[in-house]
Amino acid sequence: MTGTASDLVALAKPRITALVVFTTAIGLWLAPHGLRPLTIALTLVGTVLIVAAANVLNMYLERDTDALMARTMYRPLPAHRMDPGVALKFGVALAAVSVPLLTFAVGALPGLLASIALVSYVLLYTPMKRQTAAALLVGALPGAIPPLIGWTAATERLDLPGVLLFAVMFLWQVPHFLAITLFRKEEYARAGLVVQPNEPGGEREARANIVRYTVALVAVSLLFVPLGLGRGAYLAVALIVGAVFLGYAIAGLRQGAGRGWARNLFLLSLLYLPVLFGALVLDRPP
């Protein structure tokens, strides 16, 4: 019941943490000011720790719910491989280290943004999942903050390009997570979590929202070009991958689109984001 080192790592959701750190690095790379290697390292380490803290505390609060879902029931806490008190202390310790690290070693603004992300994810989003489908939008807020942490670590201020990075991440999460809720809606219902596809008329509305937010996502992704962060190659990639993503999202409005479509859209969303950001990094003006 004390848990192993691998269980502690599992609590931090390493795959999600890796994606978040990738988006933080994007913000650091695209920012116009040169950075010392130490600042880059401290920003990335601090982001890893703050994201891990949020994930650990989320798992602590949702341990009973996780036991009712096939994809989460084998996590350390619902599988009873670790005492919940150990997980709580671990999450609090990570938060206690990461917030001061980002605040005093990197900058007050990155530290503030990280604190907002942690509090909104653990104390707002996590309990709201049992009450309303609108929790998805609340949860998208902390998920979109990491690239802004990277940007502000480099510039020490909020700028429009950094806000656009935030907007891309925010908008991307809606079709990404709605796709998950569509092909796993029975699991969410069994666990007592409220998602849009399980509400009256909610599945049709969820598919429509996927299209709406994907349209907004593609439109916002093109704004990096007039701001000077992307050039012709990025524009071409953004148009192509955006058209593919949007086209497949629109296909979900067909009556015959089922679980297979939702699962494929989820996988497509995982491909879309790194391709888009990768093109933005590679085509960055000197």
DSSP string, 208-255: HHHHHHHHHHHHHHGGGTTTTS--HHHHHHHHHHHHHHHHHHHHTTST
Residue type, 220: V
CA distances from 160 to 15, 33, 101, 265 (A): 29, 15, 26, 29
Beta bridge partners of residue 82, listed in sequence order:
2
Residues of the chain with CATH 1.20.120.1780: 159-286
Residue intervals of the chain classified under CATH 1.10.357.140 are 8-156
Q: Which two tokens stand for residue 95?
A: 């938060």
Contacts by 98-102, CB closer than 8 A, 24 or more apart: 98/46, 98/47, 98/49, 98/50, 98/52, 98/53, 99/50, 101/42, 101/45, 101/46, 101/49, 102/42, 102/43, 102/46, 102/47, 102/50, 102/149
User: For the whole model, what pTM was predicted?
Assistant: 0.92
Q: What is the pLDDT of residue 2?
A: 52
Q: What is the mean pLDDT of each run of 10 residues along the chain (286 residues)?
A: 77 89 92 82 95 95 89 88 92 96 95 96 94 94 95 91 95 96 91 91 93 98 93 96 97 89 96 95 86
159-286: which CATH number, 1.20.120.1780, 3.30.70.330, 3.30.390.30, 1.10.1040.10? Answer: 1.20.120.1780
Q: 8-156 belongs to which homologous superfamily?
A: UbiA prenyltransferase (1.10.357.140)
Give the C-alpha separation, 21 to 23, whole Å: 5
